[in-house]
């Protein structure tokens, strides 16, 4: 049976008199026992007002970080967590001192807040307020979220205030570092060239001068004896900390190049002695120290340069801070390396293009030289074949026909080359006119009928009237058709060739599609991307003739492009090829 008169909660613990609370109150409690309270406005232990004793007991027992100020001098008291997280080297000196003395360095910030709480009785609230504390042997940047609440005495008058605080320095600084790394990464992702990389680095590091008040990137010469400035942030180039060049041989080099040879980070401790002036970035005080981090593609590899990080004078260089600078350096070195690879690739492509141009030039010059003797050869050969007055005998005719056919073939090739050089110099401008494209296409394709007949191939033309005229350059279109059909004949041994022209209008924009399909040898997929490059020929392709220079398809592609269109291929070895040219139907 329960006793109806018993309290609903557990029995109260033993008496919590002040002395036993202090004895159980950890280090701070012990230290409070040793304090000379009689010398403070609070008076000796045991004489404290009940209200103060109660709040001190609550504070000491709590594991939240708290301090309080009581009485006319706002005498300072705190608990164990506050001592550990915030008080630093001010412990135990601070116990019993006036709060304005304990926190003299931030009194301009917190004094007015405390006055207001005491004056109004309304609690304060601050989130992540920055306070520069002197608790670690230097003026330290710290962030705190805290509330001051008024403390009443027995009579209900405000006699002090209690601060419950949580220190956020690590979170705030950590988030700031993440943001810089994120923004730098995002910026560098779009930096293609080395100058782009340096521009992004300078801009991003310059946007956050609290973490690194100044910074610079130096590139080492291959022999490591000197370095040149690539970019800097928080200061201009050419200042004492950012000379254009650093020489290892200099008796007093601005930055100690020799020390970097070991491959590790180098701490430069004496900035004030080393430099006439040091930029202070977002702070009033300039950095006292800098960290040099080698820029290496991988650890142990010869560095390509180094990052100079001017260190925030209000933070110590702990593992997190050094790790942040390392991450910056590895992002920067990775970007420099890939920019260099990109530039090398571009230079290679430019060299290839130059080679291409040289080849075209060479062909042009040779072509011009060839054209004259070829026409001189063709004229008499034609005359000989058509001379009715003195007709050639059977055998001589056959011989001259071979001469004539091959001279024409050569002339066609020479003309294509000349065309290319005109394309190259931009002199080939389409002269468009309204054309009955189906008829033109059929006419050109039809010219190949003697050749397909001779080869036993079929030639199917599906070029029904489009029902409208299309603006093209006649000669260019004829070249497109004849090049594609000629190739089809050349690479087909059985079956035949089909030429189809049609008008399509998939999305309201009318286009003409020319398809030349053959049942020939087909083209391996690995070759297909290169077919339209100049001078590209498929090695070992079986062909009806060996004539060819690998420029026919390149010309088709360029002519199609001049009409605002493009050429494509669908093919598989052994099952033929389909070339399609699509141009806007204007």
Under the rule (CB under 6 A), what is the footprint of ligand ADP? 487-488, 491, 518, 520-521, 523, 531, 536-538, 541, 548-554, 577
492 phi/psi in degrees, rounded to 5: -120, 130
**How far is it, in rounded angstroms, from Cα 167 to Cα 147?**
12
The CA distance from 38 to 41, in Å, is: 7
Which positions ≥6 away from 562 have C-beta within 8 Å? 428, 429, 430, 473, 476
User: Quick one: 117 or 407, whose CB is closer to ligand ADP?
Assistant: 407
Q: What residues does 68 pair with on adjacent strands?
A: 77, 162
Q: Structure tokens of 495?
A: 């079956």
Please say whether the beta carbons of 271 and 289 come within 8 A: yes
Residue number, 14 or 454, with CB nearest to ligand ADP: 454
- For ligand ADP, the closer CB: 371 or 537: 537
Report the 10 Å Cβ neighbour count for 176. 14
Which CB sits closer to ligand ADP, 405 or 542? Answer: 542
- Supply the minimum distance, in Å, between the C-beta of residue 538 and ligand ADP: 3
Q: Which long-range contacts (CB under 8 A, 24 or more apart) does 202-206 make?
A: 202/231, 202/232, 202/233, 203/233, 204/180, 204/233, 205/180, 205/233, 205/234, 205/328, 206/233, 206/234
Give the nearer residue to ligand ADP in terms of CB position, either 29 or 522: 522
Q: Provide the minimum distance between the beta carbon of 520 and ligand ADP in the complex, in angstroms, as a whole number.
A: 5
Q: Least separation, in Å, of the C-beta of 556 and ligand ADP?
A: 8
* Widest pairwise Cα distance in the chain: 148
CB of 472 to ligand ADP, least distance (A): 20
Least spacing, CB of residue 524 vs ligand ADP, in Å: 10
Among residues 169 and 577, whose Cβ is nearest to ligand ADP? 577
Nearest CA-CA partner of 523 in 581, 567, 579, 577: 577
329 vs 551, which CB is nearer to ligand ADP?
551
Return the number of the residue (227 or 444) whose C-beta is nearest ligand ADP.
444
Q: Would you mind telling me the total number of residues written for the chain in this entry?
A: 586
For ligand ADP, the closer CB: 93 or 535: 535
Q: Are 130 and 110 in contact (CB under 8 A)?
A: no
For the CB of residue 484, give the shortest distance to ligand ADP in the complex, in Å: 7
The kind and range of the H/E element at 185 are helix 169-189
Minimum Å gap between C-beta 492 and ligand ADP is 7
For the CB of residue 537, give the shortest distance to ligand ADP in the complex, in Å: 4
Q: Which residue has the closest beta carbon to ligand ADP?
A: 552
Strands ordered across the beta sheet of 458-462: 458-462, 496-504, 511-518, 577-584, 566-571
Q: What is the DSSP letter of 85?
A: I
- Which CB sits closer to ligand ADP, 214 or 420? 420
In contact, 91 and 83? CB cutoff 8 Å = yes
In angstroms and rounded to an integer, the radius of gyration of the C-alpha atoms of the chain is: 44
């Amino acid at each position: 049976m329960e006793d109806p008169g018993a309290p609903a909660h557990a029995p109260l613990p033993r008496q919590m008199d002040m002395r036993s609370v202090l004895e159980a109150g950890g280090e701070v409690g012990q230290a409070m026992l040793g304090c000379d309270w009689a010398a403070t406005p609070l008076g000796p232990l045991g004489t404290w007002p009940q209200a103060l004793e109660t709040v001190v007991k609550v504070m000491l027992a709590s594991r939240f970080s708290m301090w309080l100020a009581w009485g006319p001098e706002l005498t300072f008291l705190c608990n164990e967590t506050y001592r550990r997280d915030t008080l630093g080297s001010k412990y135990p000196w601070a116990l019993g001192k006036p709060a304005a003395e304990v926190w003299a360095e931030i009194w301009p910030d917190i004094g007015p807040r405390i006055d207001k709480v005491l004056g109004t009785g309304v609690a304060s609230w601050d989130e992540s307020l920055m306070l520069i504390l002197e608790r670690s042997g230097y003026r330290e940047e710290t962030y705190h979220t805290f509330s001051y609440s008024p403390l009443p005495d027995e009579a209900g008058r405000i006699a002090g205030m209690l601060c419950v605080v949580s220190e956020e320095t690590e979170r705030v600084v950590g988030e700031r570092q993440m943001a810089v790394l994120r923004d730098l990464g995002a910026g560098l992702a779009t930096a293609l060239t080395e100058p782009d990389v340096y521009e992004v680095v300078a801009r991003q590091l310059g946007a956050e001068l609290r973490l690194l008040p100044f910074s610079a990137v130096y590139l080492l010469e291959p022999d490591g004896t000197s370095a040149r400035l690539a970019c800097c942030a928080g200061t201009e180039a050419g200042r004492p900390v950012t000379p254009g060049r650093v020489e290892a041989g200099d008796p007093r080099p601005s930055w100690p190049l020799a020390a970097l040879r070991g491959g590790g980070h180098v701490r430069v401790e004496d900035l004030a002695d080393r430099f006439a002036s040091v930029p202070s970035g977002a702070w009033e005080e300039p950095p006292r120290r800098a960290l040099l981090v080698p820029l290496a593609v991988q650890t142990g590899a010869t560095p390509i340069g180094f990052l100079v990080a001017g260190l925030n004078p209000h933070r110590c260089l702990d593992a997190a801070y050094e790790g942040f600078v390392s991450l910056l350096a590895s992002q920067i070195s990775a970007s420099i390396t890939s920019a260099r690879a990109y530039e090398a690739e571009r230079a290679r492509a430019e060299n290839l293009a130059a080679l291409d141009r040289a080849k075209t030039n060479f062909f042009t010059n040779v072509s011009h030289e060839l054209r004259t003797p070829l026409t001189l050869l063709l004229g008499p050969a034609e005359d000989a074949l058509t001379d009715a007055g003195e007709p050639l005998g059977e055998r001589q005719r056959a011989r001259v026909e071979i001469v004539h056919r091959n001279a024409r073939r050569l002339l066609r090739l020479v003309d294509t080359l000349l065309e290319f050089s005109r394309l190259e110099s931009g002199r080939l401008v389409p002269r468009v006119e309204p054309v009955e494209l189906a008829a033109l296409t059929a006419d050109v394709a039809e010219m190949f009928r003697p050749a397909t007949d001779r080869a036993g191939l079929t030639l199917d033309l599906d070029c029904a009237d489009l029902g409208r005229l299309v603006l093209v350059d006649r000669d260019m279109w004829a070249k497109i058709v004849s090049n594609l059909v000629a190739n089809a004949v050349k690479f087909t041994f059985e079956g035949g060739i089909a030429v189809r022209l049609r008008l399509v209008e998939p999305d309201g924009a009318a286009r003409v599609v020319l398809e030349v399909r053959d049942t020939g040898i087909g083209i391996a997929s690995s070759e297909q991307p290169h077919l339209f490059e100049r001078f590209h020929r498929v090695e070992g392709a079986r062909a009806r003739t060996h004539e060819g220079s690998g420029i026919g398809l390149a010309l088709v592609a360029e002519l199609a492009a001049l009409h605002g269109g493009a050429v494509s291929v669908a093919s598989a070895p052994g099952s033929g090829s389909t070339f399609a040219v699509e141009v806007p139907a204007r």
